[in-house]
Amino acid sequence: MILKPSQREQILPLPVVLISTVSAEGVRNVAPWSNLTPILRPLEEVVLASWIKRDTLENIRQTGEFVVNVPPVGMEDAVMVSARNYPPEVDEFQEAGLLPHQSSKVRAPGVEGCLAWAECTLEEEIAREKFVLVIGKVVHLEADDRFFNSEGEMDFEKARPLGAILGHKGLHFTYPSFSGRHADYREMFLNPPAQQQRRV
């Protein structure tokens, strides 16, 4: 079947993260985000796409900071409360019943109960008519030890990080599961060196 351009997000399983920010006045804000990706490796940057009318975007512009929080299964209801279009003066942590997780390098708090927290500073904005791409530099990256091993690898079947498949009238929350195939990064090279750096 041929899909319309407006259905473009429906062909991809998307991550669901929570972006937490504070306004210049100190009001805490949190909102779910799916249009977010790390920018390659080892560049310590992420990019997120934001519609123009977002308190999150306004706060990032005002303070130059934000936190990318990775919520697990179980936080769907709080995620959907934080998706509501509250006015900027409303504390969305309070509305969604979320507790702050102390940040190390930025003023915006993270969200307690999440699996990982990437504290970011605004690096660059790429503005279009209706949306903005925000490039953030990750200045501090932390993960819950209960779900990550000593090499920083997520036990995703235990952690169950939230994802989503979008549909016509709503979305289904998802989480990843192992396909049964592990691949070494060295498989990507025609002539793999004995000790290939883990860099993709």
Ligand X SMILES: Cc1cc2nc3c(=O)[nH]c(=O)nc-3n(C[C@H](O)[C@H](O)[C@H](O)COP(=O)(O)O)c2cc1C
Burial class (CB in 10 A: 0-12, 13-18, 19+), 78: buried
Residue 103 binds to ligand X (criterion: CB under 6 A): no
Q: Is 48 helix (H, G, I), strand (E, B) or coil?
A: strand
Question: Residue 119 and residue 142: Cα distance in Å, rounded?
Answer: 8
Report, in Å, the least distance between residue 198 CB and ligand X.
Answer: 29
Question: Residue 8 and residue 166: Cα distance in Å, rounded?
Answer: 10
Residue 69 binds to ligand X (criterion: CB under 6 A): no
- Judged by CB under 6 A, the number of residues near ligand X is 18
Residue type, 103: S
Question: Residue 96 and residue 31: Cα distance in Å, rounded?
Answer: 10
- What x/- string results for residues 153 through 182 when contact with ligand X is judged by CB under 6 A? -----------x------x-----------
Report the site for ligand X in 47-66 (rule: CB under 6 A): 49-51, 54-56
Report, in Å, the least distance between residue 34 CB and ligand X.
Answer: 4
Cβ atoms of residues 89 and 27 within 8 Å: yes
Report, in Å, the least distance between residue 184 CB and ligand X.
Answer: 32
| Footprint on this chain of ligand X (rule: CB under 6 A) | 16, 29, 31-35, 49-51, 54-56, 83-85, 164, 171
